[in-house]
Amino acid sequence: MSVVTRFAPSPTGRLHVGNLRTALHNWMLARKAGGRFLLRIDDTDAERSEERFVDGIRQDLAWLGLTPDGEERQSARLTFYEDAFARLRDAGRVYPAYESAQELDLKRKIALGRGLPPIYDRAALALSDEQRAAKEAEGIAPHWRFRLDHDEPIMWADGVRGGQSFDPAQLSDPVIRRADGSWLYMLPSAVDDIAMGVTDVLRGEDHVSNTAVQIQMFTALGAAPPRFAHEALLVGREGKLSKRLGSLGCDALRDAGIEPQALVAMLARLGTALPVEPIADRATLIETFDLATFGRAPARFDDADLERVNAAIVHQLDFAQVADRLPDGMDDAGWHAIRPNVAHVNEAGEWWRLVTGPIEPRSFDAETRAYLAEAAAALTWSETPWQDLTAVLKARTGRKGRELFQPLRQALTGRDHGPDMAELLPLIGEGRARARLDAAVRD
């Protein structure tokens, strides 16, 4: 059976790093098996869903290179949910309930006060037809719950957590439809997973109890449940769930100069036993992807780690991959020269000014100015001007190491450190190099 995974975001906001990690892992799970990765837009909440967020989801996935093999929108599938609802209602697996939010909250508090689990007491099942009719005559519209079968435990082999078992009597019958007729997550998701042929559901561990409920929904709808796996949630560097992670999305990361390859490399292995490394090759990441390596401990997202990976990824990028983001005039040789000094591609312009100027002038003592004057006189232009110049100066002055190189770098670039001068000086060119040495001597 071909593997089919899905990523099912709600378009009520921008994707954040937790969402992106889920999308990536589902994409990798499908790609490793030669299967299909589907995008499902869960937009049944018409009041909160916005088209701009749908566009944003597509753009973010495209930026990361996570191309779906198909897309569905729940707002276009409402008739399927009505049909499934009718079948479940006729089978006695859904029932109307009339409690208000305040009444349900009071019931939960009473149960907790008695040391009992705060689950729904199924009071609505005891209502007679006359009592239901009376409530509706009062204008009380029901919400609808899925009736869990309490006869047997709910069990499954989780791809990350191992064997799982839930006592359905310890779970509330979930609300699947609001009083206004709108749908909650549970039933539409199960209906769509069946229709889309989803074989594997990989999501956060906060959905574990939802899975127990949905397994019974699949069975009630006459379908075999997919394989489920629940990965640990992301936490921040401080070790707690971070509000910042809830707002840290692709737009913020792009603005910070993070490369998509770096984010993919980090999120691919975050929460696994495999080391987070600056691996730009997707094939390598996919080949090593294995649910058996996922741990139960929270996955720690550290900005410093992302910056480290990003810098290493930038140092691997070829000129063609960044050409459209480089300053005017910078060619392949220029990028190769400054690449080891940048942690973000958008820093290239700052280093390119060492070539184009102006540079920040430096003040030198009399001895150093005399040395630079000798350098100006000794400068000849060839394919290797830096090597030729330093070889002559070393022979004539006896200088070596820092004493030989540092004054030349300072005079030619205005910096104490930077790109390899053997690569940089040919880019500066003979005219600018002579002018900078002359200016340093005059100062």
User: Residues within the annotated binding site for ATP?
Assistant: 243
Mapped onto helix, strand or coil, the DSSP state of residue 81 is helix
Cα–Cα distance list, 278 to 291, 307, 339 (Å): 20, 10, 16
Residues 6+ apart with CB under 8 A from 31: 37, 286
Look up residue 213 and give its two tokens.
């409920």
Q: Note whether 7 and 23 are within 8 A (CB).
A: yes
Annotated binding site: 243
User: Pairing mode, if any, of strands 70-73 and 36-41?
Assistant: parallel
String of DSSP letters for 383-438: S-HHHHHHHHHHHHH---HHHHHHHHHHHHHS-SS-S-HHHHHHHH-HHHHHHHHH
Question: For the chain, how long is the longest CA-to-CA vector?
Answer: 110
DSSP states of 159-187 as a string? TTTEEEEE-GGGSPPPEEE-TTS-B-SHH
Phi, psi (rounded to 5 degrees) for 37: -115, 120
Q: Which amino acid is at 388?
A: D
C-alpha dist (Å) from residue 66 to 69, 187, 407:
10, 27, 49
Residue 187, CB-side half-sphere exposure with 13 Å CA sphere: 32
Helix, strand, coil share (%) of the chain residues, nearest 5: 50, 10, 35
Contact 350, 343 (CB under 8 A): no
